[in-house]
Structures are given as structure tokens and as C-alpha cells.
Amino acid sequence: MADRPTIGIFGAGKVGTALARLLVDAGYDVALTGSPRQTALELLVSVVAPGARVSDAEQLVADSDVIVVAVPFGKVGTVPWPALDGKVVVDATNYWPPVDGHIPEVDADERTTSEIHAALNPAAHVVKSLNHLGYHDMEDDPMPPGSPLRRAIAVVGDEAAAREVVARIIDDLGFDAVDGGALANGRALEPGHPAFGRELSSSELARLLEAERTIAA
């Protein structure tokens, strides 16, 4: 993988396009793909995420080192998981019953949602991140390194190398990356849990993640 990986984003909604704008500004090569029903996608992206390019799903996977899944939770199955062997995959989705409705099989599953997604392709390197802040926070809160007010974003995943790749991207975006360890620890980042939607420093976020691990144990 190059020093500055190519990033492909599944989802051209508010989260996907906000992230694309930040990544382009940080010097990344970024491609997006959206719903086949979404008309004039190239025009949309040229207006809201200038510098990013539109690609079909197959080409996006082939060209990208890092894949960001930023589709609505109920659309995760539209992502071509079997094609993601060896890719670092950032799961930025959230299962939120007030929005998604209750999904019985998810409600009954003891795993975190990202563990469920990782099982769709065990050969992908899944990392949970970027899900616990809103798209408007992505755009409003970036700060230069060393700022005492710099906001933290957690990175959890079962492989340290994949977490490191995503942590470098987060740092380039203007946030402090907090290594939260194993993918199971991502429960603390889900809606209804302590880190979701909160503006936290790296030390505060690290403490919340540790507290959640202690409770789970």
C-alpha cells in the first residue's frame, strides 16, 4: 500500500460526501459510488465533493486500498463484500432502530454490528471508525495537530496493522485517533453507548473505551 492510500467510499450521502471533501482536502485520491437509482451522481459529486471521482462498484474496489462503508445500515448487503479480500474496510455505519426499524436478527445477535459485517468476508480487514460523529462534525471540528481542543475518533479492529492505516487517515483529517483494540470494543461507539455523538478528547475517549471493555468483561 502506498504512503497515501487510495480511498473508495460506498455511499454518496451526507456522510460519504462530507468525508470525501475532507479526504480530498487532505490530499487523498478518492472515489465514490452511490445507489444505481441515484441520478446525475457525477454532477452531484462535482458540486458537493469537488476533486473526488465517481466510479462503479467493481472499479472502485479494484482501484482502492481502503474502502469506507458509509451506506445506510439496511443497505450494507449491497456492498460487494466477497470482492473485498485483503482490503482495509472502514465500517462507518450505525444500526439505529428509530431510523432503521428493529431488525430481529441484529437485535438477537450478541456481536457488535461491525463483527456481524466482518463475518461477511473474513478475508477483509474490518475497522470500526468514523461512525460516532455526525457528518457536520466531520466538517466543523478538524483541527491541526497539537491543538488542545482536537476531537478524538476511535479506531477498533482485530488487526493492529489495519487500525494503524485508519489512524493515519484520521490524523490527516484533523482528528486524534484513539486505538480502541479489538473489533468487539466497538460497542462503545454505537448509538446508545457512551462515546456516540459526544465531543471527546483522546484521553476522555480512551477512558470510555476502557470502561466499556471492563463492563463487557
pTM of the predicted structure, to 2 decimals? 0.93
What mean pLDDT do residues 173-200 have? Answer: 93
Higher pLDDT, 4 or 6: 6
Single-letter code of the amino acid located at 81: W
Q: 67: which strand partners?
A: 8, 89
Q: d(Cα 198, Cα 186) in Å, to the nearest integer? A: 15
Contact 161, 155 (CB under 8 A): no
- The pLDDT confidence band at residue 216, using thresholds 50, 70 and 90, is low
The 10s digit of each residue's pLDDT in 153-178 is 999 999 999 999 999 999 999 999 99
- The pLDDT confidence band at residue 146, using thresholds 50, 70 and 90, is confident
Radius of gyration of the chain (CA): 16
- The pLDDT confidence band at residue 37, using thresholds 50, 70 and 90, is low
- The pLDDT confidence band at residue 32, using thresholds 50, 70 and 90, is very high
| Predicted pLDDT at 168 | 97
In this model, does residue 31 exceed pLDDT 90?
A: yes
In this model, does residue 85 exceed pLDDT 80?
A: yes
First to last CA, the chain: 36
What mean pLDDT do residues 70-83 have? Answer: 95
**Highest averaged pLDDT of the listed ranges 2-6, 141-145, 181-185, 206-210:** 181-185
In the chain, the domains with their CATH numbers are: 7-216 (3.40.50.720)
